[in-house]
Structure 1
Amino acid sequence: MAVTFILDFSDGQHIETSGNGVIGRNPAVHTPGTELDDPAHVQLIEIADETKSVSRAHLAFGQYDGLFWVLDLGSANGTTIVYPGDGAYSCDPNVRHEVDPGSVVKFGKASFALTTR
């Protein structure tokens, strides 16, 4: 059964999701051959960033067996996960990384905190 994850963004957006999505300045579904290639099932989250520290399609997210993951889409400024009590971890591009509730995901000058409901 899908878990509802809550993403609280540094720009004030509060998003509840139980599916897949793409985050960026101008996000689009552009990962053919994956669960992210069907626009009807992908949530697009736009982040306003005049400094362009956030890429147009910076990172993808989703869940598998109740675990939340992020995948850096080869962004210019990377993605970092700050785990509670564990420090920061830089994500390898195009590799899924598990994100624990209570963690903060930083991408460019933006971020979101992850919790569950």
Structure 2
Amino acid sequence: MTNGSEVPDQWNGNPVPPRPPLPATPSPEPQVSPEPPKFKIGMPPGMDLSLDTVPSSDNAAPVPVAKPEFGPAPTPFGRPPLPTPSTAAAPATAPAPVTPPAPAANPRLVLPDGTVLPLLQGLIVGRDPQHQDGYGVSALAPLHDIERSVSKTHAVLGVSEGRVWIIDLNSTNGTFVVSPNGTLTPCPPEVATPLEPGADIRFGEYRVRVALD
């Protein structure tokens, strides 16, 4: 028995349950439109396209900016500045005469063992000193250093304009001027360092006394 359609409403005397509804048709996924291209400024009408006069925003190059130069501050109300006691012209005074240092009468080195070495003709000192050109000094003075802190050719000493000077010859442990209060002043290599009265010299750890009277 049918209900007027192709599907019977009974089967073998039993009622046929109604057909379940068909599943809903899925809705199509929305189409994603592509991202529009970035906006760029084009060339003005009538301009040659081969001329790259407008830089692209993608490759922006830093433009150097010159720093302003500031002149002197202006005077308030256009009035000239009043002279101050520090800027006022002072009467010219004659410079004080420079007193030259007293010449050393008998400069000499006094070694720890009491040996006296004269300095008037200059000395090249070291454990086994060798002659050095360019200093005008030929006398060699070997120093017996038990600690071996003195270099083979350590320094050169001389007298000029009444003062004793010393030049370190790139020694390993350095040359130092010892002031009367015990302050150490290193002597730069290959630079003449003058000695003050009462100062001693230390070659590495080997200390000698300088007598000037």
* TM-score grouping bracket, smaller chain normalisation: 0.7 to 0.9
Does residue 12 (structure 1) correspond to residue 114 (structure 2)? The answer is: yes
Residue 206 of structure 2: aligned partner: 110
Alignment check: 8 A CA contact 1:22 1:29 kept: yes
Residues 44-83 of structure 1 correspond to what in structure 2 (within 5 A)? 44-83=140-179
- Structure of greater Rg: 2
**Other structure's SS at 1:22 match:** strand
How many Å apart are 1:112 and its aligned residue? 1.1
How many Å apart are 1:86 and its aligned residue? 7.2
C-alpha RMSD of the superposition: 1.9
**Other structure's SS at 2:139 match:** strand
CA distance in 1: counterparts of 2:180 and 2:126, whole angstroms: 24
Does residue 27 (structure 1) correspond to residue 123 (structure 2)? The answer is: no
Aligned partner letter, 1:69: W
TM-score, normalised by the number of residues in structure 2: 0.48
How many Å apart are 1:17 and its aligned residue? 2.6
CA distance in 2: counterparts of 1:19 and 1:58, whole angstroms: 17
Length, aligned pairs only:
111
How many Å apart are 1:6 and its aligned residue? 2.0
Q: Which string of whole-angstrom CA distances, capped at 9 and with x for unpartnered residues, describes residues 35-83 of structure 1?
A: 13xxxxx221111124321001101000111100000000000001012
Q: Which runs of 5+ in 1 are unaligned?
A: 37-41
Do the aligned partners of residues 85 and 50 (structure 1) sit closer, same or farther apart at CA in structure 2, a change above 3 Å counting?
Answer: closer
TM-score, normalised by the number of residues in structure 1: 0.83
Alignment check: 8 A CA contact 2:168 2:187 kept: yes
CA distance in 1: counterparts of 2:135 and 2:178, whole angstroms: 26
Percent sequence identity over aligned pairs: 29
Moved segments of 4+, more than 3 Å: none
Alignment check: 8 A CA contact 1:9 1:110 kept: no
